[in-house]
A = this chain, B = another copy of it.
Amino acid sequence: MTADGAASPGLTREALAQAALRVLERDGLAGLSMRKVAAEVGVKAASLYWHVRNKEELLDLLNDALMADAVAPPRTGHWRTQFREYCLLHRRLLLDKRDAAKVVAGRLAPGPHLIALMEDQLDRLREAGFSDADAAMAAYLLAAYVQGFVLQEQSPIAAAEAAGSSRREVVDAVADRFRALPRDTYPNLVALADDLTDPDMEARFEFGLQRILDGLAALLPPDRR
């Protein structure tokens, strides 16, 4: 069927990645074991090592599978709105798959899907007028922001779920801790307890995003901002 002449309908690395994706969704990253992925694909754990060097390599495959659904926003309008949209989409993508940020974080070998995304982003940044060096730095900065933010946003949820309480409860507990501090040594924490624990993460994400975009805009000549 395929051009490479191999007839084997057997285990593909792609099939492995999909299986890992299902286990991730079901059991989270902490529950993702070689044994479970193997079972998911109808095989024993030891067999996986024929297809993959070790678990780390399986996570690389999973990483790329997570990026498979990434889409680029329409290439119309100001570069600022394009990149705002880019970051919102990327956050959504990571947020929608369980523990996705944890899988992606600190994994520097980009898979083919991420590579395609980077190419597109760099193209837009250069067209917007950024220098080569600035475009490279800006792409890195935006990716780091989104990943870092979602990691911060998603991990406590998982931890709270594991402990059996809701996100809302956890946040409220933190706010209460702030308010309960001695006002004379922690006047600012007491005063800003509500602002610090505002549960509207959407707004929080947007705030940081706008600051970064403002900062990037300042690199451009005034007529291109």
Name A's B-contacting residues (CB within 8 A): 56, 102, 105-110, 115, 118-119, 122-123, 126, 132-133, 135-141, 144-145, 147-149, 151-152, 154-156, 159, 162-163, 170, 174, 181, 185-189, 191-192, 195-196, 198, 204, 207-208, 210-216, 218-219
Kindly state the separation between the CA atoms of A46 and B170 in the bound complex, as whole angstroms: 28
- For residue A64, give the distance in angstroms from its CB to the closest CB of chain B: 14
Closest residue of B by beta carbon distance from A214: B215
Kindly state the separation between the CA atoms of A155 and B105 in the bound complex, as whole angstroms: 8
How many identical chains are in the complex? Answer: 2
**Contact, CB under 8 Å: A208 / B132:** no
**Contact, CB under 8 Å: B215 / A122:** no
Kindly state the separation between the CA atoms of A216 and B181 in the bound complex, as whole angstroms: 28
Kindly state the separation between the CA atoms of A170 and B108 in the bound complex, as whole angstroms: 9
**Contact, CB under 8 Å: B192 / A132:** yes
**Contact, CB under 8 Å: A56 / B115:** no
- For residue A165, give the distance in angstroms from its CB to the closest CB of chain B: 12
Task: Identify the 9 closest CB pairs spanning chains A and B, nearest first.
Answer: A148-B148, A106-B155, A211-B215, A136-B195, A122-B188, A214-B215, A215-B215, A108-B156, A141-B208
**Contact, CB under 8 Å: A196 / B106:** no
**Contact, CB under 8 Å: A195 / B106:** no
Closest residue of B by beta carbon distance from A133: B195
A-B contact pairs, 27 of them (CB 8 A): A56-B162, A102-B106, A105-B105, A105-B155, A106-B151, A106-B154, A106-B155, A108-B155, A108-B159, A110-B174, A118-B196, A132-B195, A133-B195, A133-B198, A135-B188, A135-B195, A137-B195, A137-B207, A139-B196, A140-B196, A141-B211, A147-B148, A208-B212, A210-B215, A211-B218, A212-B215, A214-B214
